[in-house]
Chain A
Amino acid sequence: MRRYDKNGPLAMGFNLIFLVFILAPLVVVCLVAFTDKGYLSLPRDGLSLRWFVAILDHPEFIDAFWYSIYLAIGSATLAVMLAVPAAIATARYRFPGRGLVMAFFMSPLMVPHVVLGVAFLSYLSRLGWAGTYLGLVACHIILIMPYALRLVLASVTGMDRSAEAAARSLGATRWVTFRRVTVPLILPGVTGGWVLAFITSFDELTMTIFIASPSSTTLPVRMYQHITETIDPLIASVSAVIIFITMVMMIILDRIFGLDKLLVGK
């Protein structure tokens, strides 16, 4: 290790304690998931996969997992499709109300999710859309739009426009230029925005719990309902699976984009 590290022993100790604090709850979830006991306990007499096998006997978790995946794919895709033209408008045109429109699209970040949940529940039930897939997608689009837009906007603003000008001067139509030049250039930002939107939608609990019905329950909602009744090794093994999937995605994201850049949105 090169001596770039300027921290003294005290700082290193602090860093260690901080990391333990951050990782301890996640490690404990994974350990308890491997218990061989029938109750909550650390695996002391040996590791066992019995609680992972037990997930297969609980189709309600598996159904909720797939519902969450479909919901996140649907809403992230639509949010990005709305974000790309909005980002192009904001990055390339000066028009009255430009700042206001941007602030409007970012405003869901300022509204507590429980307030969105309250508002969406009364609205959807009045429309008769409560608990439907389309209703949930529409609500999730609002929630994840700021995350998608921020990354898409950064890539549109940062892109070099001379390639577009070259394509146009060589006789490409507007549409061909957009599809063959603009889209490939902004694709990394669009992908990053989609992934962040997908994860946000997949993880969301507080707003979704208001609008989900028994037939449209997402995985976080199902887990919340389970935890409020009982905390058992089963819920730990479901959580361990989520942690594992998220970690794999995270390492891929970090390799492609850099996790700090993705989360700051620059």
Chain B
Amino acid sequence: MKTWLPPYLLNGPALLIFVVMLVVPMVMTLILSFNSFDFYGGIQEDYGWHNYLEVVKDSYFHEIFARTYGIAIAVTLICIIIGAPEAYILSRMSKTWRSLCLLAILGPLLISVIVRTLGWALLIGNNGVINEVLLGVGIIETPLKMMFTTGGIVVALVHVLVPFMVLSVWTTLQKLDPQVESAALSLGASHFTTLRRVVLPQVMPGVLAGSLIVFALTASAFATPSILGGRRLKVVATTAYDEYLNTLNWPLGAAIAVILLIANVVVVMSYNRYVERKYAAVFD
């Protein structure tokens, strides 16, 4: 047997199914996105940019894309602001407490998004727990409207995705030498200065990696915006779903999906390039 052959034979089965089940469907979706759609005749066998032009020109789609990426930016920022400090606090806990807290924070990642979103629907609904408590105590007269608002979607998505941020920063913190921090403190730096000048620069790669995951997952989130946003507050993923399964305009849905994919890949790639250039010295 030739020496170069075994690795290809070992990879063969997985490569085969990836080509058949990933490459071919993706290419077919790309082709489909250039077809046009007729309400009576269905999908037409012609090719053109009209679906993309429709998305680019129509203010209906502008609003959806703006909302999606607005939510993604807000969720990412909040996750940084609350997730990074939480990871730092975890790293300074005693071992027993830390493993308990880690279990509580990372555990929900294994519970279906639909269950966690349902929890938020029960909390923030008009007859939900928060309104029930506030009305009962007498702080408010009429129920607060939190369901079907962008704010509600943002809070629930932060809840769904902040474990990734904690995890990412936590992994970076574990590689840190705690003595560097002690050195800064013993040399007379205040706690705040030590945090800002010593700890923060070292955990930045973790914060950036976490932001990337959170941003990409928020931009393509489906279940949470769909349940908490209702019919009116559409995002890109729910729009593609509606085009496919309600309007049945598959070519337009395919075009929206292709745009979402390209936008995600571009953000991830340029972010990686930026991080690599900025932290080349750290990684070497």
| B-chain residues with CB within 8 Å of residue A224 when the two chains form the complex | 114, 223, 226-227
Interface centre among B6, B105, B119 (most CB of A within 10 A): B119
Is B36 on the interface with A (CB-CB < 8 A)?
Answer: no
Q: How far is the CB of A29 from chain B (nearest CB, A)?
A: 5
Which of the four size classes fits the interface of chain B? Answer: 35 or more
Question: CA–CA, A260 to B106, complex, Å?
Answer: 7
Other-chain contact of B127, A28, A40, A115, A239 (Cβ < 8 Å): A40
Contact of A110 with B110 at beta-carbon distance under 8 Å, contacts A22-B159, A25-B116, A210-B244 already known: no
Is A112 at the interface (CB under 8 A from chain B)? yes
Kindly state whether residue A113 has any CB partner on chain B within 8 Å: yes
Number of A-B pairs whose CB atoms are under 8 Å?
A: 259
Partner of A123 from the list B25, B95, B110, B120 (CB cut-off 8 Å) is B25
When the two chains form their complex, are residues B216 and A110 in contact, meaning their CB atoms are under 8 A apart?
Answer: yes
CB A117 to nearest CB in B, in angstroms, measures 8
Which of B12-20, B50-58, B196-204 makes up part of the contact surface?
Answer: B12-20
Docked-complex contact A118 and B29, CB < 8 angstroms? yes
* Interface bits B17-57 vs A (CB < 8 Å: 1, else 0): 11001101110110010000000000000000000000000
Q: Are B171 and A264 in contact (CB under 8 A)?
A: yes
Bound complex: CA of A58 vs CA of B11, how far in Å?
44
Contact of A22 among B11, B108, B245 (CB under 8 A): B108
Least CB distance from A188 to B in Å reads 18
9 residue pairs, one from A and one from B, having the closest CB atoms: A25-B119, A112-B220, A89-B10, A123-B25, A93-B7, A119-B25, A4-B94, A85-B10, A89-B7
Query: Could you list 12 further interchain pairs (A-B, Cβ under 8 angstroms) beyond the known A15-B89, A119-B29, A122-B250?
Result: A19-B101, A22-B162, A25-B116, A26-B116, A88-B10, A93-B7, A95-B7, A115-B260, A145-B14, A228-B226, A243-B115, A260-B170
